[in-house]
A and B are shown apart, each in its own frame.
Chain A
Amino acid sequence: MALLNFKSTMKAIYNYCRNVINAFISLINGMRVTGYYISHPKQILTQQYPNNRATLYIPERFKGRVILPHDENNEHKCTGCSICQMSCPNGSITILTVTEELPDGKKKKRLDRWEYNHGMCTLCNLCIESCPSDAIKMENHFEFAVYDRKNLIYDLNKPGSKLKEKSE
Chain B
Amino acid sequence: MVNNSEQFHLVDITTGIHEWLYANLSSGLALTAELLLVAVSMITLVVVTAIIMVYMERKVAAFMQIRLGPNRVGFWGTLQAVADVLKLMMKEIVTPKAADRFLFALAPFLVTAVSFMALAPISFAPGIQLWDVNIGVLYISAVTSIGVIGVLMAGWSSNNKYSLLGAMRSGAQIVSYELSAGLSVLAIVVMVGSLSVNDIVVSQANGWWIFKGHIPAIIAFVIFIIASTAELNRAPFDLAEAESELTAGFHTEYSGMKFAMFFLSEYTNMFVACMLGATLFLGGWQPFYIGGLDGFNHVMDFIPGIIWFFGKTFSLVFLIMWFRWTFPRLRIDQLLKLEWKYLLPISIVNVLIAAFITLAGWHF
- Give the CA-CA distance A45 to B62 in the complex, in Å: 11
When the two chains form the complex, which single residue of A30, A45, A48 contacts B326, counting CB atoms closer than 8 Å? A30
Contact of B44 with A by CB under 8 A: no
- Give the CA-CA distance A46 to B59 in the complex, in Å: 13
- Give the CA-CA distance A35 to B323 in the complex, in Å: 10
Contact of B67 with A by CB under 8 A: yes
Assess whether A30 is in contact with B327, with CB atoms less than 8 Å apart.
Answer: yes
Q: Which residues of B contact A38 (CB under 8 A)?
A: 60, 63-64, 322
When the two chains form the complex, which single residue of B64, B67, B322 contacts A46, counting CB atoms closer than 8 Å? B67
Query: Nearest-CB distance from A79 to chain B (Å)?
Result: 44
Assess whether B66 is in contact with A44, with CB atoms less than 8 Å apart.
Answer: yes
Assess whether B66 is in contact with A43, with CB atoms less than 8 Å apart.
Answer: yes
- Give the CA-CA distance A34 to B65 in the complex, in Å: 7
Q: Which residues of A contact B131 (CB under 8 A)?
A: none
Interface residues as binary, A34-67 with B (CB distance below 8 Å gives 1, 0 otherwise): 1101100101111010000000000000000000
Q: Which residues of B contact A31 (CB under 8 A)?
A: 322-323, 326
Q: Which residues of A contact B346 (CB under 8 A)?
A: 20
When the two chains form the complex, which single residue of B68, B325, B327 contacts A44, counting CB atoms closer than 8 Å? B68
- Give the CA-CA distance A34 to B326 in the complex, in Å: 6
- Give the CA-CA distance A44 to B323 in the complex, in Å: 20
Q: Which residues of A contact B71 (CB under 8 A)?
A: 48
Query: Nearest-CB distance from A23 to chain B (Å)?
Result: 8
Give B226's nearest chain A residue, CB to CB.
A27
Query: Nearest-CB distance from A53 to chain B (Å)?
Result: 17
Known: A20-B342, A44-B63. A27 touches B327 (CB 8 A): yes
- Give the CA-CA distance A34 to B68 in the complex, in Å: 14
Assess whether A45 is in contact with B64, with CB atoms less than 8 Å apart.
Answer: no
Known: A44-B68, A46-B68, A48-B68. A37 touches B63 (CB 8 A): yes
Q: Which residues of A contact B64 (CB under 8 A)?
A: 34, 37-38
Q: Which residues of B contact A48 (CB under 8 A)?
A: 68, 71
- Give the CA-CA distance A77 to B186 in the complex, in Å: 78
- Give the CA-CA distance A150 to B342 in the complex, in Å: 66
Q: Which residues of A contact B342 (CB under 8 A)?
A: 19-20
- Give the CA-CA distance A43 to B68 in the complex, in Å: 10
Q: Which residues of A contact B60 (CB under 8 A)?
A: 38
Known: A31-B322, A35-B322, A48-B68. A41 touches B327 (CB 8 A): no
- Give the CA-CA distance A38 to B69 in the complex, in Å: 12
Interface residues as binary, B305-331 with A (CB distance below 8 Å gives 1, 0 otherwise): 000000000000000001101110000
**Residues of chain A having any CB pair with chain B under 8 Å:** 19-20, 27, 30-31, 33-35, 37-38, 41, 43-46, 48
Give the 7 A-B residue pairs with the shortest CB-CB distance, closest first.
A34-B64, A46-B68, A38-B63, A34-B326, A30-B326, A45-B66, A46-B67
Listed A/B pairs (8) with beta-carbon separation below 8 Å: A27-B327, A31-B322, A33-B326, A34-B64, A34-B322, A37-B64, A44-B68, A46-B68
